[in-house]
Amino acid sequence: MSATPDTVTTPTFQLDGEEIPFQPGQTIIQAALAAGKYIPHLCFHPEFKPHGSCKLCLVKISGRPAASCTTVAQAGLSVESEIPEVQDKRRTLVQMLLVEGNHFCPSCEKSGNCMLQALGYELGVMSPHFPQIFPVRPVDASHKEILLDFNRCILCELCVRASNEVDQKNVFALAGRGISKHLIVNSESGRLADTNFSATDKAAQVCPVGVILPKRVGFAIPIGKRKFDLKPISDPGASAGCAEHAEGGA
């Protein structure tokens, strides 16, 4: 493009009444986050192709519900995000994720740095609302550097995507259907130790919850000083560029 940005009219769409500029090809959530406007998300990661599975980034576009991570921004769109109807649905989604797994925050090293937990706070999730499923999901402590605690998996597939696309190792996959869907390790034994997985892999860094944890770290940061103790997940400092993805363990 020969013209400078100043002389080109950047297209915009409206997000909760505010004009959001975007580059052609950007999705709604990409443009919103770039403009410092937070839209809740779990499976979206700025370094990966949109996945559209968690539906936390649900918005209403001209009255119709859509996932803002998979919807390409267009000039003149009217997008509603922080309205009670949408926030209620997001809250329900978080509650369903909480009862589907075993999310016992007090024993989790990711507590305070966990996106699911932080979204619970953000959306004011005070109760699980639904009956707990209490699924049986044994942990995999076989790897010498990394613990896998499947109890907390929300099936965002970020580790699957990172291992495939960045690490070129194909260590993780999802198996099963519906409520039986679960994360598996791609080795004959099913154990992480029998793969070429390493703690320096991208897949070890992207888990938004407490499934993939580095060993011998523990509760390194005291309560009150952890990432989301200091600022809510919707804080521009936490969401722009999705810094919450940047760290692996606690």
Partner 1 sequence: MDRKLKVATTSLAGCFGCHMSFLDIDERLLDLIQLIEFDRSPLTDIKHCGPCDLGIIEGGVCNAENVHVLREFRRNCKILIALGACAINGGLPAQRNQLDLRDILEEVYQTEPGLTHGGIPNDPELPLPLNKVHPIHEVVKIDYFLPGCPPPADAIWKFLTDLLAGRTPHLGHGLLHYD
Position 127 contacts partner 1 (CB under 8 A): yes
What is the nearest approach in angstroms of partner 1 to the Cβ of residue 142?
19
142 CB-near residues (< 8 Å, 6+ apart): 191, 192, 193, 194
What is the nearest approach in angstroms of partner 1 to the Cβ of residue 55?
21
Position 48 contacts partner 1 (CB under 8 A): no
What is the nearest approach in angstroms of partner 1 to the Cβ of residue 224?
9
What is the nearest approach in angstroms of partner 1 to the Cβ of residue 194?
24
Residue 207 β-bridge partners: none
Stretch that binds partner 1, among 9-17, 83-91, 98-106, 181-189 (CB under 8 A): 98-106
Beta carbon nearer to partner 1, 56 or 123: 123
Burial class (CB in 10 A: 0-12, 13-18, 19+), 17: exposed
Position 112 contacts partner 1 (CB under 8 A): yes
Beta carbon nearer to partner 1, 31 or 98: 98
Which one of residues 6, 136, 168, 222 is an interface residue with partner 1 (CB under 8 A)? 136
Position 117 contacts partner 1 (CB under 8 A): yes
Cα dist. 2→5, 7, 8, 21, 178 in Å?
9, 10, 10, 19, 50
- Closest Cα to residue 90, out of 205, 207, 230, 234? 234
Question: Which of the residues 224 through 243 are near partner 1 (CB under 8 A)?
Answer: 229, 231-232
Pairing of strands 212-214, 58-61: unpaired
Position 121 contacts partner 1 (CB under 8 A): yes
Stretch that binds partner 1, among 71-79, 94-102, 157-165, 174-182 (CB under 8 A): 94-102
Spell out, one character per residue from 183 to 212, where the chain touches partner 1: x when CB under 8 A holds, - when not.
------------------------------
Residue with tokens 């011998």: 216
As a whole number of Å, the CA-based R_g of the chain is: 19
- Round to whole Å and give the CA distance between 241 and 250: 19
- The answer to whether the Cα torsion of 55, 118, 36, 167 is positive or negative is negative
DSSP H or E segment with residue 115: helix 115-122
User: Residue numbers of the site for partner 1 (CB under 8 A)?
Assistant: 98-99, 102-108, 111-112, 117, 120-121, 124, 126-129, 131-132, 134, 136-137, 223, 229, 231-232
